[in-house]
Structure 1
Amino acid sequence: MAAVYDFVIIGGGTAGLVVASRLSEDPSTSVLVLEAGADLTADPRVNIPIFYAALLGSEADWKFQSSSQLGLNGRVLGLNQGKALGGSSSLNEHVFVPPFKGAIDSWEALGNPGWNWKMLKDYFAKAYSSPTVAQDAKEDLAIDGWTELNEAKGPIQTSFGNATHPIRKAWAELFRSSGQYNTGDPFTHSSVGSFSCLASIDAEGKRSNSASAYYKPAEPRKNLHVFTNSPVERILFDESKPPKAIGVQYSLDGSSRTAHAKNEVILAAGAFQSPKILQLSGVGGAELLEKHGIDVVLDLPGVGQNLQDHMISYTAFQAKDGLETKDSLVRQEPEAIGQAMQEYTATGSGPLASLGVHTYAYLPLPASDRTSLQALFTDHTPEDSHQNRASHAYHDIAKTTVFDPEQPSAAYLSAMGQANYAKDLNDGSIPAASPGKFVTLGVMLSQPLSRGSVNITSVNPEDPPIIDPGYISNPLDLEVIARHLLRVKSLALSPQLGKLLEKPLKFRDPAADFQGDLSAAKKYARENLISMWHFAGTCSMLPRERDGVVDSNLRVHGIEGLRVVDASAIPLISTANLQATVYAFAEKAADLIKEDWKRY
Structure 2
Amino acid sequence: MSLIYDFVVVGAGSAGCVLANRLSENGRYSVCLLEAGPPDRYPWIHIPIGYAKTMFHPVYNWGFYTDPDPGMNNRRIYWPRGKVWGGCSSINGLIYIRGQQADYDAWADAGNEGWAWKDVLPYFRRSENNDLGPGPTRGTDGPLSASSIKARHPLTEGFINAAVELGVPRSRDFNSGDQEGVGYYQLTTRNGLRCSTAVAYLKPAQKRSNLTIISQAKAQRVLFEGTRANAVVYEQNGQQFTVKAKREVVLSAGALQSPQLLQLSGVGPSELLQKFSIPLVKDLPGVGENLQDHLQIRMMYECTRPITTNDELRSPWRKLRMGLQWLFTRSGPLAIGINQGGLFTKVIEQSKTPDIQYHFGTLSADSAGGKVHPFSGFTMSVCQLRPESRGYVRIVSADPNQPPSMQPNYLSTELDRQIVIAGVRYTRKLAATGPLKDLIKREHLPGIEAQSDEQILEFCRQYGATIFHPSGTCKMGSDPLAVVDSRLRVHGLQGLRVVDCSIMPTLVSGNTNVPVVMIAEKASTMILEDALKPSLATVNVNPTKTSELCAHAS
Q: TM-score, normalised by structure 1?
A: 0.84
1:346 aligns with: 328
Structure 1 gap segments, 5+ residues each? 134-145, 371-402, 424-429
How many angstroms does 1:520 deviate by? 1.9
1:541 aligns with: 476
1:263 aligns with: 247
1:210 aligns with: 197
Select between 450-459 and 155-164 the one with higher mean Cα deviation: 155-164
CA contact (8 A) 2:10 2:34 kept: yes
How many angstroms does 1:151 deviate by? 4.2
Corresponding position: 1:160 with 2:159? no
CA deviations 1:297-343 (Å, max 9, x no partner) are: 000010011111000111122223253x2113555x43333332222
Corresponding position: 1:407 with 2:407? no
How many angstroms does 1:68 deviate by? 0.4
Partners in 1 of 2:435 and 2:98 — Cα distance?
25
How many angstroms does 1:30 deviate by? 0.4
Q: 1:185 to 1:259 in 2, by over 3 A?
A: same
CA contact (8 A) 2:37 2:60 kept: yes
Partners in 1 of 2:53 and 2:340 — Cα distance?
21
1:36 aligns with: 36
Corresponding position: 1:220 with 2:207? yes
1:559 aligns with: 493
- Aligned residue pairs total 532
2:466 aligned partner, one-letter code: S
1:304 aligns with: 288
1:420 aligned partner, one-letter code: D
2:519 aligns with: 585
How many angstroms does 1:409 deviate by? 1.4
Partners in 1 of 2:9 and 2:472 — Cα distance?
19
Partners in 2 of 1:255 and 1:481 — Cα distance?
47
How many angstroms does 1:188 deviate by? 2.0
How many angstroms does 1:162 deviate by? 4.5
2:38 aligned partner, one-letter code: A
CA contact (8 A) 1:444 1:576 kept: no
- Which one of 295, 310, 313 corresponds to residue 327 of structure 1? 310
CA contact (8 A) 1:361 1:413 kept: yes
What's the Cα RMSD here? 2.2
2:444 aligns with: 508
1:373 aligns with: none
How many angstroms does 1:541 deviate by? 0.6
Partners in 1 of 2:69 and 2:280 — Cα distance?
30
Q: 1:514 to 1:102 in 2, by over 3 A?
A: farther
- Which one of 368, 375, 397 corresponds to residue 458 of structure 1? 397
How many angstroms does 1:149 deviate by? 8.8
CA deviations 1:105-159 (Å, max 9, x no partner) are: 11112221121112222221112211258xxxxxxxxxxxx99993432111232
- Which one of 381, 385, 410 corresponds to residue 442 of structure 1? 381
CA contact (8 A) 1:160 1:358 kept: no
How many angstroms does 1:100 deviate by? 1.5
How many angstroms does 1:163 deviate by? 2.4
Partners in 2 of 1:520 and 1:177 — Cα distance?
28
1:280 aligns with: 264
Select between 476-485 and 413-422 the one with higher mean Cα deviation: 413-422
1:567 aligned partner, one-letter code: C
How many angstroms does 1:161 deviate by? 2.9
How many angstroms does 1:552 deviate by? 0.5
CA deviations 1:267-324 (Å, max 9, x no partner) are: 000011100110110000000101000000000010011111000111122223253x
CA deviations 1:205-245 (Å, max 9, x no partner) are: 11100111100011121111110001111101002xxx100
1:201 aligns with: 189
How many angstroms does 1:195 deviate by? 3.1
How many angstroms does 1:95 deviate by? 1.1
CA contact (8 A) 2:65 2:79 kept: yes
Partners in 2 of 1:153 and 1:169 — Cα distance?
31
Q: 1:191 to 1:13 in 2, by over 3 A?
A: closer
- Which one of 207, 224, 232 corresponds to residue 237 of structure 1? 224
1:72 aligns with: 72
1:119 aligned partner, one-letter code: D
Partners in 1 of 2:135 and 2:35 — Cα distance?
42
CA contact (8 A) 1:121 1:188 kept: no
1:450 aligned partner, one-letter code: S
2:222 aligned partner, one-letter code: I
SS at match of 1:275: helix
CA contact (8 A) 1:410 1:443 kept: yes
CA contact (8 A) 2:303 2:378 kept: yes
CA deviations 1:363-412 (Å, max 9, x no partner) are: 1115xxx3xxxxxxxxxxxxxxxxxxxxxxxxxxxxxxxx13x4111112
Select between 301-310 and 314-323 the one with higher mean Cα deviation: 314-323
Alignment of 1:97-246 (within 5 A): 97-131=97-131, 150-182=138-170, 185-203=173-191, 205-239=192-226, 243-246=227-230
Partners in 2 of 1:329 and 1:456 — Cα distance?
44
How many angstroms does 1:421 deviate by? 1.1
Partners in 2 of 1:189 and 1:581 — Cα distance?
12
CA contact (8 A) 1:194 1:361 kept: yes
Partners in 1 of 2:177 and 2:508 — Cα distance?
16
Select between 45-54 and 5-14 the one with higher mean Cα deviation: 45-54
Select between 270-279 and 313-322 the one with higher mean Cα deviation: 313-322
Corresponding position: 1:532 with 2:482? no
Structure 2 gap segments, 5+ residues each? 534-554
CA contact (8 A) 1:193 1:362 kept: yes
1:328 aligned partner, one-letter code: D
How many angstroms does 1:514 deviate by? 5.7
How many angstroms does 1:16 deviate by? 0.6
Partners in 2 of 1:119 and 1:361 — Cα distance?
26
1:214 aligned partner, one-letter code: Y
1:391 aligns with: none
CA deviations 1:246-268 (Å, max 9, x no partner) are: 11111123211111111100000
SS at match of 1:508: strand
CA contact (8 A) 1:67 1:468 kept: yes
1:521 aligns with: 456
Q: 1:166 to 1:334 in 2, by over 3 A?
A: closer
